Amino acid sequence: MGYRPEMIAKERLGTYLQDHYAGSSAGIELFKRAADQQSDPVARTALTSILVEVEDERVALERFLEAIGTKPDPLKNAGAWMAEKLARLKPNGELIRRSPLSDVVELEALRVAVEGKACGWRVLRSLTEDEKLFDPAELDRLHDQAGRQIEQLEELRMAAANRAFRQTP
């Protein structure tokens, strides 16, 4: 008998994808809020552009879930949505107006989220070697897109940090 590649554990993969889908729910909410409230107009424009990509990526996640015979988990989505809303209550040193620190913290959270998303794309891409559930070219494109998003977010984050922490005379 010849070598037979291992089968994909679709139920476990479904849970993994549901987690990433729930994360995208929270991420989309954070991108919307950050794009709306960033103090820098360049950051607002860039975040709005990335938001469109993230919303498209969520559609891809829906297709991937469907390909393995599952759906997004409403409970996980609700929990992720609620966690994003609760994170807004974190004080950042200002009582009445938005703190420049909020820009930095939001951009850091967005970068971490996109890093996690890139990890997910790499996992799915590695699985295409055993089973043709997903399109390798699409996963390569999604991973490359996440890399560009990370670079953009890092530039925005450092610019926000400079505005927040450097005092002008």
Residue-wise pLDDT for 55-111, tens only, equals 999 999 999 999 999 998 888 877 776 767 666 656 555 555 677 888 999 999 999
The whole-angstrom separation of Cα 165 and Cα 138 is 40
The pTM assigned to this predicted structure is 0.86
CA atoms in the 13 A half-sphere facing the CB of 55: 10
pLDDT of res. 102: 86
Domain extents in the chain: 10-165
Q: What is the CATH number of domain 10-165?
A: 1.20.1260.10
Cβ-contact 65, 14 below 8 angstroms: yes
Residue holding tokens 């479904």? 14
26-35, 79-88, 97-106, 143-152: range with lowest mean pLDDT: 79-88
